Structure 1
Amino acid sequence: MVEDSEQEELRRAAQILLENRWISRREMPDEYLLIRRNEKTLRQFFREKCGWPLLVTAHFYKLEKIPANPWPFMGITAMQSIEDYVLLACVMAFLEEYESGGQFLLGDLAEAMLAYYPEDALTPRLNWESYNWRKSLIRVLNFLAEEGIINIVDDESTGFVNQGFDADGVIAGEALYEVTNLASYFLRSFPRELSDYDSWGDLLEADYVTDASEEARSLRHHRNRIYRELLLKPVFYRQEEYEADFSYLCNRRGRLEDIIQDWFGLHLELYQNGVMAVSHEQSTWFNDVFPVHFRGIHDIILHLSHYFRELSPEQVKQPMTIIQWQGHLEQLSKSTKTGWTKEYREMSLKRLSERLLEETTAWGMVKVDEDGLIIVQSALFRHEGVYPTGYTGEKEKKKAKSGDGE
């Protein structure tokens, strides 16, 4: 039986692997050594429970956190468009030509991108005369620098962003970059060439460990998908196509809860149509939690939950158009807007509806179906918020102003 101190160390190491893309020996030496001491146990746990490999080099650890099903919130925040993602893939292909420590110029990269960019991409053709394309490339490079995949040695790329190339093909602002030892490990590796896969579903299944018997394979897949859902998503909903996964979870709930608690300090909350792994601690190890007291949009979501609780069940269950969604938010703002942060008090209804839809979708509180209709989901009602009795907004503002002058 693992001693409490040993389990606490394992828990801390597992949390570090979940919350970071890389655990660099240079940047995170204490965390690196912690994982190194527990490497064998961590590798076995994540491979067995999640089907995730733990990548190990002399310079870093990386847990390949592959989702059971991708959600929009799992994208890269720095990427603002499809074009950004396509350019990112092209830049990574370009970097394959370089070893760690190799250097390249922005001008050479930009020229190479014209050849790397796919002819059949579902985006406008790459063109460096476009300010948006130039900005996109620099955005990608800055992201790679932040991730430690490249180092910026010398940077005058502002000239490139503003002017591009002159009539003689000379870049207006040059930059020098250096490739690091992380570059070869940023993109996922697949067992076979990508061209060998026929569908998106084949890619999702590609990384699961294959067992000798069909029964063992099925059980492993259920287990891996459940752990991936619980650890990477805010809520796992019961769906017809994953009914077997939900049954697996219900049948093994006690054991799953013990493991989730021991390894991550989380508690399972099982409902009729979904399950969540939640933290009961006010101070938690998650980088992103709900609700965050200093994030104004979360306050609005708490009010939104209370607002929908006050409606009839038929109204809440009914899919709504974006116009109906905006109508609800307009009604909500009339009664709660005085307490919102300045950013959201002054925001247009259209922009507010977009931001709320984006945030609630990321947290699994609403979803948009294939027809574009918005459906409220049960996770929205996990929390709710109301103002204290007698709160008027104006009264509170006056108190704050008076306090500032004391």
Structure 2
Amino acid sequence: MDEQNFEFDEETKECVHALFENFWISRTMSLEMYVKIRERETILRKYFEDTFRWRLQINKELVKLEKVPVVAETWMGISAFRERLDYVLFCCLMSFLESKLPGERFLLSTLCDELLLLLNEIQPDTLKWTEQAHRRSFIRVLKYAETLKILTVEEGNVFDFGADEEQEVLFVITALYPYFLRRTAKEIKAYTHFEEFLQEESLNDYHRLYRHIFTSPLVHRSELTLGEKFWLDNVQRRIGETIVDTTNFELEVYREAALLTSSSPISHETFPDAKGISMAVLHLAQVVHGKVSETHEWATDVQGRLLLANAQFREGVHETKLRFGYGWSKEIQTYDLDTLVREVLNLLKTWKLAEESEDSVCLFAPLVRMVGQYPIDYQNKIQAEEVS
């Protein structure tokens, strides 16, 4: 497939970045970026269509890039939601709003009554507003809808509903609501499994590869089709150049994995970030690097992976805490070893840097090749404080 060389200036790359990072960009909330994207509509539409087969929706209210992945992954859930009920209630909220018009007002009590009827008709006793846990779940849903500007609160406070089911709130439906759901080939009721949403598009391996790279923190070679592997093996340099020319990312390819990195500030989630547990993971990488490349206590396989028994992984985390824990945040320093091991492993799995089985942990090549060290002046400062 011919890969067109788009002439992207820095502002166009800024638009691409904004579309990647945001669910949508509304005219009322981000007018400057909205205008920039509209001015570059032709080149942006062509870029996303030719590269990803993604639809760029542009109208008088917003711009929205429909970033459909190749496969659904755990981290793609709504971060504000904690329980299955949150998603159930959000779907019910969307169903309730479907019969409403932008600008229409409604009361929280009306919404609660409608949802109670809807859910209990499907499965009796699923929802009880007398239970505080159910009200808290619904508060998370309503706050998420507010964050997206699907709804705005005209009067009252949503959080008061958590303490008292009789609290009233007046909502207004915004003009953004009709654009939340993407268009599908058939009625939603006709789908029997969520994977059908992903499979209804006709993608070739070139588009699948780009989607894989841009919608996953790390792509393992085992996840790719033969066609995707062909593109990655034979056109890697050209794909990497295109990514640099059109985005703020760079493509890194290892023997068994590929991922995007960036030297530019990214406003959304990255690894590492400023959280203390990220620092602990980087220091663990330093310990692992030493045991693999210096003391040779541990050995990677031909694919660059490091397979550790649970006891070995725990030992590595413990050594990391002893060597580097003095510079961690107060919260992380107070973790007992079991908690620290669990938090470190959870972060590694979230970023697909590790895989856990019943009796072992597999660390993948990108982590094994990382190191995390304190600056020399910081180490000297800590040592001086200990002496004094």
Task: Place the TM-score, normalised by the shorter chain, in its bin.
Answer: 0.7 to 0.9
Please tell me the residue identity of whatever aligns with 2:349. Answer: T
Cα distance in 2, alignment partners of residues 136 and 332 from structure 1 = 38
Q: Which moved more, 1:80-89 or 1:152-161?
A: 152-161
Tell me if structure 2 keeps the 8 A contact 1:338–1:393: no
Tell me if structure 2 keeps the 8 A contact 1:269–1:275: yes
Residue in 2 that maps onto 1:215: none
- 1:2-401 alignment runs, 5 A limit: 7-117=9-119, 125-164=126-165, 171=166, 173-206=167-200, 208=201, 210=202, 220-239=203-222, 242-279=225-262, 281=263, 283-292=264-273, 294-309=274-289, 310=291, 311-313=297-299, 317-318=306-307, 320-321=309-310, 325-368=313-356, 374-387=361-374, 391=379, 395=383, 397=385
Cα distance in 2, alignment partners of residues 127 and 42 from structure 1 = 47
SS at match of 1:117: helix
SS at match of 2:114: helix
Distance change in 2, residues 1:313/1:65 (3 Å): same
Distance change in 2, residues 1:297/1:240 (3 Å): closer
Distance change in 2, residues 1:240/1:192 (3 Å): same
Tell me if structure 2 keeps the 8 A contact 1:339–1:393: no
Cα distance in 1, alignment partners of residues 228 and 62 from structure 2 = 34
Cα distance in 2, alignment partners of residues 187 and 373 from structure 1 = 41
Tell me if structure 2 keeps the 8 A contact 1:151–1:179: yes
Please tell me the residue identity of whatever aligns with 1:307. Answer: V
Distance change in 2, residues 1:367/1:2 (3 Å): closer
Spell out, residue by residue over 1:155-187, the C-alpha distance to the aligned partner (whole angstroms, 9 max, x if none): 2444431132xxxxxx2x111111111112222
Spell out, residue by residue over 1:233-252, the C-alpha distance to the aligned partner (whole angstroms, 9 max, x if none): 22211016633312222222
User: Unpaired runs of 5+ in structure 1?
Assistant: 165-170, 211-219
CA deviation after TM superposition for structure 1 residue 227, in Å: 1.2
Please tell me the residue identity of whatever aligns with 1:335. Answer: R
Cα distance in 1, alignment partners of residues 108 and 360 from structure 2 = 44
Q: CA RMSD in A?
A: 2.9
CA deviation after TM superposition for structure 1 residue 83, in Å: 1.2
Q: Which moved more, 1:56-65 or 1:149-158?
A: 149-158
CA deviation after TM superposition for structure 1 residue 30, in Å: 1.2
CA deviation after TM superposition for structure 1 residue 57, in Å: 1.4
Q: TM-score, normalised by structure 1?
A: 0.83
CA deviation after TM superposition for structure 1 residue 319, in Å: 5.6
Cα distance in 2, alignment partners of residues 358 and 199 from structure 1 = 27
Distance change in 2, residues 1:200/1:107 (3 Å): closer
Cα distance in 1, alignment partners of residues 300 and 125 from structure 2 = 44
User: Unpaired runs of 5+ in structure 2?
Assistant: 292-296
Q: Which moved more, 1:193-202 or 1:345-354?
A: 193-202
CA deviation after TM superposition for structure 1 residue 112, in Å: 1.2
Distance change in 2, residues 1:240/1:133 (3 Å): closer
Cα distance in 2, alignment partners of residues 35 and 163 from structure 1 = 44
CA deviation after TM superposition for structure 1 residue 373, in Å: 5.5
Q: TM-score, normalised by structure 2?
A: 0.87
Please tell me the residue identity of whatever aligns with 1:55. Answer: Q
Distance change in 2, residues 1:8/1:388 (3 Å): closer
Cα distance in 1, alignment partners of residues 315 and 115 from structure 2 = 46
Cα distance in 1, alignment partners of residues 179 and 360 from structure 2 = 39
